[in-house]
Amino acid sequence: MEAKQKRHARIKRHSRVRLKVSGTPSRPRLAVYRSNRHIYAQIVDDVAGNTLVSAYSREVSVEDGKGKTGVAEAVGRLLAERARDRGIGQVVFDRGGFLFHGRVRSLAQGARDTGLEF
């Protein structure tokens, strides 16, 4: 599959998910974006249009041998800690059109382990 077609297919999947998933002030949306090298996550209040908390892979340091999934899990833990400091306990998960597998799943698991509820 050509890279342009692959990206277009992901955007279509994401738009379908976004029709159903929306963040509110009481339960904001945890949005995930995954590139080849990095992973980004942010907690968004869609009603006000504000990003409440964010974290990405350049902010964490993980010991060698963990790979990209280990980095993604560390990003999830960091995001959950920042959310807890802001008083956010529950979120809805928006996987961004990516499969819930690999790095996306590791990020979600790291956030859950730190106390964020989906």
pLDDT at 64 over 70: no
pLDDT at 74 over 70: yes
Tell me the CA distances in angstroms from 104 to 26, 49, 51, 68, 115, one per residue in order. 24, 23, 19, 10, 17
Q: What percent of the chain has pLDDT over 90?
A: 89
* Second-level CATH architecture of 3-113: 2-Layer Sandwich (3.30)
Could you report the per-residue pLDDT of 21-50, keeping only the tens digit for each?
999 999 999 999 999 999 999 999 999 999
pLDDT at 9 over 80: yes
pLDDT at 113 over 80: yes
Contact at 8 Å (CB) between 26 and 13?
Answer: no
d(CA 116, CA 110): 9
What pLDDT is stored for residue 114 in this prediction?
95
Domain chopping of the chain, boundaries = 3-113
What pLDDT is stored for residue 31 in this prediction?
97
What pLDDT is stored for residue 65 in this prediction?
53
d(CA 26, CA 89): 9
What pLDDT is stored for residue 66 in this prediction?
79
The predicted model gives 74-95 an average pLDDT of 96
In angstroms, the first-to-last Cα distance of the chain is: 33
Q: DSSP characters for 16-40?
A: HHHHH----SSS-EEEEEE-SS-EE
What pLDDT is stored for residue 111 in this prediction?
97
pLDDT at 112 over 60: yes
